[in-house]
Amino acid sequence: MIAEKSQVTRQLMEGLQKLSSKIAFIPDEEIVSAIRQLEEKGLPNNKHEDYKYCNIESFIRREFKTLDQTFNPLDLKVIEAYKLEDAINLVVLNGNYSEALSEKVIAKGITIKSLNEITSSEKNYIASQAKSSSDSLIALNTVFCGNGLFFKVEKGNVIPMPVHIIYLNNNSAPSLSNARNFIHIESGAELTLIESFINSGGGKIFSNYVSEKLVDENAKLTCYTFQNEGPLSYSVHTNAVKVNTYAHYSNTTITLSGELVRNNHNIELAAASCEAHLNGLFITKGTQLVDNHTLIDHQMPHCESNELYKGIANGKSIGVFNGKIFVRKDAQKTNAYQSSKNILMSDDATINTKPQLEIYADDVKCSHGTSTGKIDMDALFYLKARGIGEENARKLLLQAFAEEVINKIEVDSLKERVLHLFEKTL
């Protein structure tokens, strides 16, 4: 088994090595560590506790026998359709930041460049949070990542317009895409960031995204992740976030499609009195697998975290929520809340949900709740008894269930899009 594992990894590496050029923006020692991680640990499979339901190695072996990094000519209409009118739209194509396709940013206090263009002092930040030694998928990205985005909001600047990054992969043959970015919100600055993940071109895609987000003291970063990658997509999204004193980080992840979607959301509440809010909504059908793994690490006192994840599973699909919360010894007066609610729409669908709380401080408030069940038959009967047909009654109930998460979206155009596309999946 071990031999097989390393074989898959080796094939992958050999296939890609000839395609990748030296990545200058990642510190050398991190690249060394990434290669070691891949060689020693291979890609995660179901023997890894964290990937119990999400055997990445087997997916790759089955679906990506050959890998091709040639991408298709781009149909600009695809990007146009995904732009949001009330946001600044940036484009990352096949893992590479495209200045040409991106809108010009006129807001004061923003630095945007490709990772290839960062200064040597900026380079110190890269891979400071997403450590290859913690996860082979971070290692894979570290070794093969594209020329992604470096995005900084300078001290004290409140950016009035949301920034929308569209990650588009455009391929007709099975491909691997490793998008990477670094988002830095300096002290007192504020940004709303939307990240949309889409594919075109008709080829299978293994998309392995890594984002490092650093929120300095008193800063606020409000993120929305919109995942609509289609049935040919197998994706892993890793967010490694560090939140400092009095800073505020939030993310709402909406997953509407993708054959495999694995979200790793790792938050370090690294200084006192900061907060993180994570919300998620997924709807799955067919044989889809959506796996949300969150880790909130309360390191210092007076921090707050809130998690609300909801899922609707149809067909033979599988939904996973695993919420790990660490409350370290120094993290007194921690408030940590977690809730996972799911609806099973068929007998063959599965939901695995697991709260994991490890608490080492004694003066904390932590709570978690989880529920998984069928649609409320009494409510369904009540609606039907008023003349509403079965299908519409179900839709009304599922929309009501989902809206608790969708209503967290404060960007109107995005909320409208999500509502519209969500309704279409029902």
Partner 1 sequence: MISIKNLHASIGDKEILRGINLEVKAGEIHAIMGPNGSGKSTLSSVLAGREDYDVTEGEVIFNGKNLLDLSTEDRAREGLFLAFQYPIEIPGVSNINFLRTALNEIRAYHGKEEMPAKDFLALVKEKQKLVELDVTLTSRSVNEGFSGGEKKRNEIFQMAMLNPKLAILDETDSGLDIDALRIVAQGVNALKTKDNATILITHYQRLLDYIVPDFVHILYKGRIVKSGGKELALELEAKGYDEIKTQFESSES
Question: What does DSSP assign to residue 186?
Answer: -
The answer to whether the beta carbons of residues 295 and 263 sit under 8 Å apart is no
122 vs 404, which CB is nearer to partner 1? 404
CB of 173 to partner 1, least distance (A): 44
Rounded least distance, CB 421 to partner 1, Å:
18
Question: Torsion angle, CA of 74/80/86/88, rounded to 10 degrees?
Answer: 20
Q: Is the Cβ of residue 19 or residue 379 nearer to partner 1 in the bound state?
A: 379
d(CA 58, CA 9): 11
Q: How far apart are CA 90 and CA 103, in angstroms?
A: 6
In the bound state with partner 1, the residue whose beta carbon lies nearer, of 330 and 423, is 423
CA 360 vs CA 212, 242, 272, 324: distances in Å: 27, 20, 16, 14
Closest to partner 1 by CB, 81 vs 379, is 379
Q: How far is the CB of 406 from partner 1 (least distance, A)?
A: 10
Phi, psi values for residue 44, rounded to 5° = -65, 140
The CB-of-397 to partner 1 minimum distance in angstroms stands at: 7
Residue 394 identity = R
Cα 397 to the chain's mean position, in Å? Answer: 27
Which residue has tokens 């976030």? 241
The nearest distance, CB 274 to partner 1, in angstroms, is 31
Q: Smallest distance, Å, CB 290 to partner 1?
A: 21
Q: Which is nearer to partner 1, 74 or 388 (CB)?
A: 388
In the complex, the residues that contact partner 1 under the rule CB under 8 A are 376, 378-379, 381-390, 392-393, 396-397, 399-401, 403-404
With respect to partner 1, which residue has the nearer C-beta, 274 or 402? Answer: 402
CA-based nearest residue to 65, from 142, 145, 173, 168: 173
Considering the complex, state which of residue 360 and residue 381 has its C-beta at the smaller distance from partner 1: 381
Minimum distance, C-beta of residue 417 to partner 1, in the bound complex (Å): 20
**Rounded to the nearest whole angstrom, what is the least distance from the CB of residue 368 to partner 1 in the complex?**
20
- Contacts of residue 46, Cβ cutoff 8 Å, sequence gap at least 6: 52, 53, 54, 55, 58
Least Å distance, CB 403 to partner 1, is 5
Q: Which is nearer to partner 1, 360 or 382 (CB)?
A: 382
At its nearest, how many Å lie between partner 1 and the CB of residue 381? 6
Number of C-beta neighbours around residue 34 at 10 A: 25
Q: Rank residues 20 and 399 by Cβ distance to partner 1 and give the closer one.
A: 399
Which residues are 359's β-sheet partners? 327
- Which residues, at least 6 apart from 305, have a Cβ–Cβ distance to it below 8 Å? 267, 269, 275, 276, 277, 278, 296, 298, 325, 334, 335, 336, 337, 338
102 contacts 89 by C-beta, under 8 angstroms: yes
Q: Which helix (H) or strand (E) holds 115?
A: none
Give the strand pairing for 163-170 and 180-185.
unpaired
Q: Extract the tokens encoding 59.
A: 């997916």
For residues 130 and 209, give the distance between their C-alpha atoms in angstroms, rounded to a whole number: 11
Identity of the residue, 224 or 401, whose beta carbon is nearer to partner 1 in the bound complex:
401
